[in-house]
Amino acid sequence: MRRNDFPNPMLDEITPLIITHDEAPNIARTLDKLGSARRIVVIDSGSTDDTARIARSYPQVEVIAHPFIDFASQCNFGLTQVTSPWVLSLDADYELTDDLVRELQALAPPLGIAGFRARFVYRIFGRALRGTLYPPRTVLYRREAARYRNEGHGHRVVVDGAVLDLRGAIYHDDRKPLARWFASQQRYARIEAEHLLALGRRARGTDRLRLMGWPAPIGVFFYTLLVKGCLLDGWAGWYYVLQRVIAEALIALELADRRLRRRSQTADAADSGAEPIAAPMPVRASIRALGPQV
C-alpha cells in the first residue's frame, strides 16, 4: 500500500509508536501495515537480536534506544518523541487488519474526541481464533491528552476525553520462542500477585476471582475452551487455552507461595519473639526488576 493511494490529511497527523525488546520474529509484520505513516517511532529497550536492524530497513522508521525502567515510563518517554497531534500506540506483535487500515485512512475525528479503542483478533502462528481474553484497548489518541500508568505487570493509557470504538480490528500474533514466553510469565506472575495482594478487599470482578487463587485457572480453562470457542480452533485453540491456564496457574502459585511463607514467617517470629520479616518490595520496584519484556 502506497501513501498516495488514499490521500487524507489525517495520515499526516498520526505517528505510530512501538515499544520493542527482541521482537525480530514480529516487528516486520507490524511495520508492513504502516506504509501510510510519514514517520514511525520505535523505542527500543536494548534489543540484542535483529529488531533494530529490521526496523531501520523501513525508511520512515526512527529507532530510539532508551533504557527500560518500567512499561509506563517507556511509553511516556515515547510520547515525548512524537510531534504529531495523534499517536497510534502498537505493541510489536500487533498487525493492523486491512479493514482498520482503510478506516484510519478515512478517519475524521470530531473535536471533542480524544481517542479510539480497537478490539483484537488473537492469532496463533497466523491462525485466527474465534475468541480471546485480550480486551479492547485505546490505541489511537491525541498526544496531549494521554499519559501511561503501570497496572499489574502491564500498563494502560489514560486519555482525558471521550473515546470511541473503531470498527476494524487488530491481529495479536506473538511468535517469539516459547521458552521466552515461559520466562516472561514467571516474572509477570510475581508482579501480578503483588498487585492483587495490594488490592486486597478492593479487588473487583476478575481481580477478585484471581485473588482467590485456585478457581482462576479452572475458570479460564472452561471459559476459553467453551465460551470463547477455542475448542473449535484445533491445535491453535488448545495452544491458546494452555497458555492462559498456565499463566493463571503461575499467578495462583505465587499467591499461595506468598501466603504460606507469610504464615510461616509469622509463626516463626511468634515462637522466637523476633520481628516479622518485612513484606516484599512494592509493585513498581518489581516492574523495574522485570526488565524490558514487552
Q: Are residues 89 and 220 in the same domain?
A: no
The band of 96, judged by pLDDT with boundaries at 50, 70 and 90, is very high
> What confidence tens digit (pLDDT) does each residue in 204-253 have?
888 899 999 999 999 999 999 999 999 999 999 999 999 999 999 999 99
Of 13-22, 46-55, 186-195, the range with the lowest mean pLDDT is 186-195
On the question of pLDDT at 285 being above 50, the answer is no
Last residue of a domain, one of 148, 172, 196: 172
The band of 266, judged by pLDDT with boundaries at 50, 70 and 90, is confident
Q: Are residues 81 and 123 in the same domain?
A: yes
Q: Count CB neighbours of 76 within 10 A.
A: 17
The band of 85, judged by pLDDT with boundaries at 50, 70 and 90, is very high
Q: Are residues 149 and 196 in the same domain?
A: no
What is the number of structural domains in the chain? 2
Q: Count CB neighbours of 190 within 10 A.
A: 21
Q: Are residues 139 and 48 in the same domain?
A: yes
Q: Are residues 266 and 120 in the same domain?
A: no
Last residue of a domain, one of 172, 199, 221: 172
Q: Are residues 82 and 190 in the same domain?
A: no
The band of 172, judged by pLDDT with boundaries at 50, 70 and 90, is very high
pLDDT at 7: 52
Mean pLDDT of 31-43: 95
Q: How far apart are CA 274 and CA 281, in angstroms?
A: 21
- Burial of residue 169 (number of CB atoms within 10 Å: 0-12, 13-18, 19+): middle
Q: Are residues 154 and 10 in the same domain?
A: yes
Which percentage of the chain shows pLDDT scores above 90?
Answer: 71
Last residue of a domain, one of 172, 189, 221: 172
> What confidence tens digit (pLDDT) does each residue in 112-135 have?
999 999 999 999 999 999 999 999
Q: Are residues 182 and 154 in the same domain?
A: no
Q: What is the CATH number of the domain that holds 26?
A: 3.90.550.10
C-alpha cell at 86: 495523534
Q: Are residues 33 and 136 in the same domain?
A: yes
Contact 275, 172 (CB under 8 A): no
Q: Are residues 196 and 122 in the same domain?
A: no
The domain of 40 spans: 3-172
